Amino acid sequence: MVEFYGTAVSSRLMLGTAQYPSPAILADAFQRSKAGIATVSVRREAGSDQAGADFWALIKELGVAILPNTAGCHSAREAITTAQMARELFDTDWIKLEVIGHTDTLQPDPFALVEAAKALCADGFKVFPYTTEDLILADKLLDAGCEVLMPWGAPIGSGLGLSNIYGLRTLRAQFPDVPMVVDAGLGLPSQAAHAMELGFDAVLLNTAVAKAGDPAAMAEGFAGAVQAGRLAFEADPMEPRDMAAPSTPVIGKAFLS
């Protein structure tokens, strides 16, 4: 169980809803993984368009919390407008805030991100900002009113895993009481487990599941990895060491003369 903005969510796994081979496979992935939150791009929801209406009906049938996002926005103004549309469309004040600043890496624009976060928080939104592991940017987002941070593991859709472990570990240590979700770049369940072992509260992924040969099986694999990683973190794992340490006691060992 994890909590965001005072709302408890049953699973620490969050899944995107794009790129699946079919609606049935999407639904199966959510069912087998028991993911607690579904992210939905407003640009996929075409208002009164029949295809958009059918997609929205499918999402509602999943029975999970909905986190609309501003995917594809490249300015604060565009992201703010998209968030306002999402609030009307999905009847929620939750919003995953994305403001892309670099086309190749899809790295967020830190200046526009803070600008948009400040405006949306002031307007009553509960903002989940897609950010980097930068400490200064994290501090400014929290000052803007955000109560959750979503640092990337690696560029969106890359499957590279945690490309800056030191930065993520430092971010987690600097803000120990802030809910944090590792978002983007995860390609394997082992990478999700590593994120959870570092003390992050949840992970969000899309491409690694949707583009797998068996998306539902991969989603279930990620769910198990997230649970294992969290259990490991809570168990207070041993510190790594440079030298071997015998696990069998030496005292009392028989010696031959």
DSSP, res 43: G
Is 164 annotated as a binding-site member? no
Decide: 71 and 41 in contact? Cβ < 8 Å.
yes
* Catalytic-residue membership of 96: yes
Annotated active-site residue in 96, 118, 126, 140: 96
DSSP helix/strand/coil, 241: coil
Is 69 annotated as a binding-site member? no
Residue 237: alpha-carbon gap to chain centroid: 23
Is 221 annotated as a binding-site member? no
Decide: 133 and 171 in contact? Cβ < 8 Å.
yes
Q: How many CA atoms lie within 13 A of 134 on its CB side?
A: 15
How far apart CA 121 and CA 127 sit, in angstroms, is: 7
Classify each residue of 84-117 as buried b or exposed e, where b means 16 or more C-beta atoms within 10 Å of its C-beta. Answer: ebbbebbeebbbbbbbbeeeeebbbbbebbbbbb
- Taking every pair of Cα atoms in the chain, the longest distance, rounded to a whole number of angstroms, is 89
DSSP helix/strand/coil, 177: coil
CB atoms within 10 A of CB 155: 16
Catalogue the active-site residues: 96
Could you tell me which residues are annotated as the binding site for 1-deoxy-D-xylulose 5-phosphate?
A: 157, 184-185, 206-207
Could you tell me which residues are annotated as the binding site?
A: 157, 184-185, 206-207
